[in-house]
A = this chain, B = another copy of it.
Amino acid sequence: MAEFQLIERYFSGLSRPDGPVALGVGDDCALLDPPPGQRLAMTMDTLIAGRHFLPDADPFSIGHKSLAVNLSDLAAMGASPAWALLSLSLPQVDDSWLSAFTSGFAALAEAHGVALVGGDTCQGSLSITLQLTGFLAPGQEMLRSAARPGDAIYVTGTLGDAALALQLASAGQEPGELAQRLDYPDPRVAEGRSLSRLGVKACIDISDGLVADLGHICRRSSCGARVYLDSLPLSSPVREYLAAGGDYQPVVAGGDDYELCFTVPPALAPQLRDMPVSCIGEITAGEGVELWDGSGKLLPLPRAWEHFSS
């Protein structure tokens, strides 16, 4: 099957030539007319088989995840998703794989109003690169560099679910309800928009684990962070795992949660009272992330997952 037939067959239906999309899949470039006065937020992430997902993972979930991780980056900036370009490298054309992948992608794209407008396909080891563009009003962006000493640190949702699911699955155990969190991350796009409109200025999404990602905020904002383990929001399965003697590593250093971590000056904190977010610590004038337990003891930092950290 020739490349252009492949592209047309699977991806043309996702193109939605309306709104800002003047021309979608099928020419040398896509053509877009962004709304006047809006700032573009652009991100691009690659998922590689054997590194970001198991090679035999359900292609529907890979399609979902390839968009979800990029939506999560837009969420962290406070942007509204708009359109995407997809590059797909495949060992061979596999009809059922492609059709499940496309369906997983399409379901999440539909839910977030994302049009697929172009990209590339080629033969190679399985990997997916997605470039996603969204909009925001200039000045409403949330940055890694905008945290200030005295800010309270918050997260959305619960932490450690995806990492514990992976840990259980790797040990041959059944991850149960946690599997959903690993295979179908739910990017916090609406939460990101709300926070940015409330005036939150500093935010990151938790893809590499709380310590690593909050560490990015500290480095970019030239400050430190104090996190209280007892304040971390946990799901029932994670609470049970900890009660049974499991350690905090997956909770503070496990990747793939795709929750938002953001910081808030004291004056803004009351406005968060009705949101499903948890205060987990505070920004300090120091350096790096500190973890404190309930008895006031400073804990050693677990080693974070890092690309290329050989």
Contact = CB atoms under 8 A, between A and B. Distances in A.
Contacts of A143: 23, 27
Please name the 4 residue pairs, one residue from A and one from B, whose CB atoms are nearest each other, closest first.
A3-B307, A29-B41, A28-B76, A48-B124
Given A28-B74, A31-B42, A93-B308, 5 more contacts: A2-B306, A26-B144, A33-B39, A43-B85, A51-B124
Interface stretch (A11-19, A113-121, A235-243): A113-121
Contact of A32 (B31, B42, B48, B120): B42
Given A4-B216, A87-B129, A122 B42 contact: no
A73 interface: yes
A44 B216 contact: no
Given A42-B117, A46-B120, A29 B129 contact: no
Interface in A207-251: 216, 220
A123 interface: yes
Contact of A118 (B42, B86, B93, B144): B42
Contact of A51 (B41, B48, B120, B123): B123
9 contacts: A2-B306, A27-B77, A30-B41, A31-B39, A34-B40, A44-B118, A44-B119, A44-B131, A120-B129
Nearest to A76: B28
A52 B3 CA distance: 15
Contact of A85 (B52, B131, B306, B308): B131
Contact of A129 (B3, B46, B74): B46
Interface residues of A, number: 70
A96 interface: no
* Chain B CB within 10 A, most for which of A92, A121, A123: A123
A85 B42 CA distance: 8
Contacts of A138: 22, 33
A117 B87 CA distance: 18
Contacts of A76: 28-29
A310 interface: yes
A307 B86 CA distance: 16
A34 B33 CA distance: 10
